[in-house]
Amino acid sequence: MRRSMTGLLLIIIGALFLLQALGLAHGISFGAAALLLVGLSIAGSGLRRRRINLFNVGLGLWIAAMGLFNILSQAGVTTITGGDAARMGWPILLIALGVSMLLGRGPRIYVIRDPRHNPVRSDTHFVSDVKLGNEPWVLDGDLELNTFVGDLRLDLTTATISPGVHRIEVNKYVGDTLIRVPDTVSVRARAEASVTGNLSIFGERRSGVGSVSLEREEIVPGADAELIIDVRVSVGDVTILREPVDGFRVF
């Protein structure tokens, strides 16, 4: 279904370019057209689920409305612009997000890494709960995790960490973050909430509205691995715990 939707979007965009090249369409904003098509695609993906994802539907319709009103305003049909639609759509989007969370209809993603496979890469999830570390895995380089909405659980106590310095970056908009760190490695950790949040690193806490940040560093004598952890969120709680490596854990 996703391939069919992608193919349909390419056909429509190509047809718009062809019409403009033939002089049959003037003043079409392809950026606005792309917003309209992408928004409809996202909304459609929310409707195609066994249980309707209200946030995806709301987000898709919001993006589509920005594109549609840009096109209509350029054609002189309405004075409402895509920017107006963007500003007016935020409350509806937040309501859809809240209802979706209350109904438990957000997708959950469990990330399991094969120790035989190089796990170092950048993972991006749009609306999802991400859990990494349910199974033993290998960290032998840098790791970047990006989410828009959703909770993130990262267990480093189940990881075999290779010697050296490893950077772990987490970037997200809304949601809580929990990172468990083994007591056998040195750590430099930083957390930041740009809008509001509660931050906790190794027992030290800080919270507030507006930009708030917290940094901690713990050096383990003789440790052959060091973790540099940087977590940045807009809204949400960030907790980084130091724990002894005492066996396998499931979140």
pTM of the complete model? 0.56
pLDDT at residue 125, as a whole number: 55
**SS3 label, residue 33:** helix
Handedness of CA 154, 156, 159, 163 (dihedral sign): positive
DSSP category for residue 162: P
Is the pLDDT at 233 greater than 50? The verdict is yes
Tokens of 236: 């949400």
Distance between CA 167 and CA 76 in Å, rounded?
51
Distance between CA 112 and CA 148 in Å, rounded?
20
φ, ψ dihedrals at 201, nearest 5°: -130, 115
Best-predicted range by mean pLDDT (25-29, 37-41, 114-118)? 37-41
Residues paired with residue 139 on neighbouring β-strands, in sequence order: 161
DSSP category for residue 184: T
CA dihedral 34, 37, 41, 42 (to 10 degrees): 60
pLDDT at residue 48, as a whole number: 64
Boundaries of every domain in the chain = 2-102, 108-243
Distance between CA 58 and CA 56 in Å, rounded?
5
Is the pLDDT at 12 greater than 60? The verdict is yes
Residue bearing tokens 């050096």: 219
Best-predicted range by mean pLDDT (26-35, 171-180, 181-190)? 181-190
pLDDT at residue 10, as a whole number: 63
- Using CA atoms, how far residue 65 sits from 31, 49, 92, in Å, is 13, 22, 12
pLDDT at residue 223, as a whole number: 92
Q: Note whether 3 and 41 are within 8 A (CB).
A: no
**Averaged over 60-67, what is the pLDDT?**
80
Q: Residue 171: which residues within 8 A CB-CB, separation 6 or more?
A: 144, 145, 146, 147, 232, 233
pLDDT at residue 123, as a whole number: 59
pLDDT bracket for residue 6 (50, 70, 90): low
Is the pLDDT at 182 greater than 80? The verdict is yes
**SS3 label, residue 243:** strand
pLDDT in tens, 105-141: 554 444 444 444 444 445 555 556 788 888 899 998 9
pLDDT in tens, 70-109: 777 776 778 887 777 777 776 776 776 677 666 655 544 4
pLDDT at residue 111, as a whole number: 46
- Buried b / exposed e over 27-64, threshold 16 CB at 10 Å, is eebeebbbbbbebbbbbebbeeeeeebbbbbbbbbbbb
φ, ψ dihedrals at 10, nearest 5°: -65, -40
